[in-house]
Structure 1
Amino acid sequence: MGTGGSRSSLHPDTPWMPYEEVNSDGFDGLLRGQRVMSVLQQLAGEEMLLFKEKINYKLAGSGGFDPHIDANAYTHVKDINHLTILTAVDGMNSANGGLEVVDGSHRMDIPLGSDRCIEPTWVKMNTWTPAELESGDILIFGSYLAHRSGANTSPKNRRAIYATYNCATEGSLHDQYYLDRQKLWPATHMRKEGDPTKKAGFAMLSVLSC
């Protein structure tokens, strides 16, 4: 993922900041601050811990994400229930590939295909509602909410911060997630010639790794 020209301090020849680098002061206060954590605790009914975080850059003209749920995305670490906070850095709408959801789908039995995406028949049978957000708005959703996003057909790039949290009773899993990710989907600068992961996945920008 490009970062608009910024370069890594640990890897000066890399034109992006790899996900193991740390920018803790501002983002730690945002993602682990009392205001956010108290809201999550009210929703979950128990204390929550930061599980993972990322910045999504949806460049002008880039594609979207197929309909899916997040519940099966992190089972390589642990089978957990989680909450995600989406913070819109730029406004999100249908034109720039904003999120669409199926209302109440977290209480439905959603069929998944072998690719872990939602079965096309279910997708067509349900109504998808755009979750339009202004810059600075947040959207909190759980691991079983059906969601998707379209292509960014606007002339401008779009940015969003996603922070995912797990219940404290499940333990602190943040470091384990990034260790597993580094092994399974190494960033481009960490891949070796001939490694089967060289063409798999993509570099993921993380704003916090501590």
Structure 2
Amino acid sequence: MIAQLEKPQNLQTDYERDGFIIVRNLFSVDEIQRLSEEIDAVRNQYTHLVDKRNMRCRWQDHYQTGECRFDAFDPIIDLSPLSKDLAYSPKMLEVLRAMYGEPACLFKDKIIFKMPGAKGYDMHQDWIAWERFPRSFCSVVVPLDEADEDNGCTIVYPGYHQNGSLSAEDGNYHPLPAGLIDESSAVPLVLNRGDIAVFSGFTPHKSLANKSDRPRRQFYFSYTRQSDGGELREQHYKDYHLWLIQKYREYGKLDTYFE
């Protein structure tokens, strides 16, 4: 039984048609508040991890000043026990089972802080043509703060996932060129605390700058079908770090590490 789902019988149909779903009030406000407090504690406890050489960290420019600022921990569940509980929550996994029609396996996990002023992300798809990157890859967005267009919520474009990869399948990340996606089809993922959204790795999406005075902290937990390789999270992070090391070397950065 899936608690608090809107039209639970349609999750698989809606996801296959649109490339995304939204589930309202899956988690309680109290659950999200406890997570929010733990993430604040993580930021305070692990300040030594915030280093441009640390492959756990992601960075984003300020949309006005261009200042490069810390933006994300990837992964996060090894730093935050409640985040790990959330990623493996029976409620979350039941939604994914209903959507996939089979069990789901955690593939990767991160939290993007997107503090006021943070620049958004260009239009892209999350799926990358790596040998062990499952085509069933999806991302689950769990907001710690209300997400709206003012603070740079994720914006998805329905239906395009049915065309698979829209860029070269060469193992690299590719922003999608202007004009490829019809902007009139945009769906901003406006989410309250307790809501989740799920979108396919082939669903084009982007986000705009956070022009508000509020953060837009969101977990991005990624999953795959169990039949698409089983438990692959550990192998994914090995592959991901090797890829990052190579990319950093191309820019002359040879002192990267993971902590």
Q: TM-score normalised by the shorter chain: which range applies?
A: 0.7 to 0.9
Contact 2:145 2:216 in 1 (8 A): yes
Q: In structure 1, how many angstroms separate the alpha carbons of the residues matched to 2:257 and 2:45?
A: 15
Number of equivalences: 191
Q: In structure 1, how many angstroms separate the alpha carbons of the residues matched to 2:223 and 2:162?
A: 20
Report the alpha carbon displacement of residue 67 of structure 1 after superposing the two structures with TM.
Answer: 0.9
Report the alpha carbon displacement of residue 93 of structure 1 after superposing the two structures with TM.
Answer: 1.0
Report the alpha carbon displacement of residue 115 of structure 1 after superposing the two structures with TM.
Answer: 5.7
Q: In structure 2, how many angstroms separate the alpha carbons of the residues matched to 1:79 and 1:109?
A: 12
Q: 1:65 to 1:120 in 2, by over 3 A?
A: same
SS in 2 for 1:65: coil
Counterpart in 2 of 1:152?
210
Matched, 1:43 2:127: no
Could you report, residue by residue, the CA deviation over 1:132-184 in whole angstroms, capped at 9, with x for unpaired residues? 11122210111221211001111222200010111112122100111122233
Contact 2:152 2:211 in 1 (8 A): yes
TM-score, reference length from structure 1: 0.75
TM-score, reference length from structure 2: 0.62
Structure 1 segment 85-124 matched on structure 2, within 5 A: 85-108=140-163, 111-112=166-167, 116-124=174-182
Q: In structure 2, how many angstroms separate the alpha carbons of the residues matched to 1:88 and 1:203?
A: 29
Structure 1 segment 62-77 matched on structure 2, within 5 A: 62-72=118-128, 75=130, 77=132
Identical pairs, percent: 23
SS in 1 for 2:85: helix
Q: In structure 2, how many angstroms separate the alpha carbons of the residues matched to 1:82 and 1:149?
A: 20
Contact 1:184 1:197 in 2 (8 A): no
Counterpart in 1 of 2:240?
181
Counterpart in 2 of 1:165?
223
Counterpart in 2 of 1:208?
none
Matched, 1:6 2:65: no
Contact 1:185 1:197 in 2 (8 A): no
Q: Which amino acid counterpart does residue 45 of structure 1 have in structure 2?
A: G
Q: 1:120 to 1:135 in 2, by over 3 A?
A: same
Q: Which structure has the higher relative contact order (CA within 8 Å, separation 6+)?
A: 1
Q: 1:110 to 1:178 in 2, by over 3 A?
A: closer
Structure 1 runs, 4 residues or longer, greater than 4 Å off = 15-21, 195-200, 202-205
SS in 1 for 2:181: helix
Report the alpha carbon displacement of residue 129 of structure 1 after superposing the two structures with TM.
Answer: 2.1
Report the alpha carbon displacement of residue 24 of structure 1 after superposing the two structures with TM.
Answer: 5.9
Q: In structure 2, how many angstroms separate the alpha carbons of the residues matched to 1:125 and 1:39?
A: 29
Structure 2, unaligned stretches of length 5 or more?
1-39, 57-73
Counterpart in 1 of 2:84?
28
Q: Which amino acid counterpart does residue 243 of structure 2 have in structure 1?
A: L
Matched, 1:56 2:115: no
SS in 1 for 2:122: strand
Q: 1:164 to 1:155 in 2, by over 3 A?
A: same
Q: In structure 2, how many angstroms separate the alpha carbons of the residues matched to 1:46 and 1:179?
A: 26
More helix per residue: 1 or 2? 2
Structure 1, unaligned stretches of length 5 or more?
206-210
RMSD: 3.3
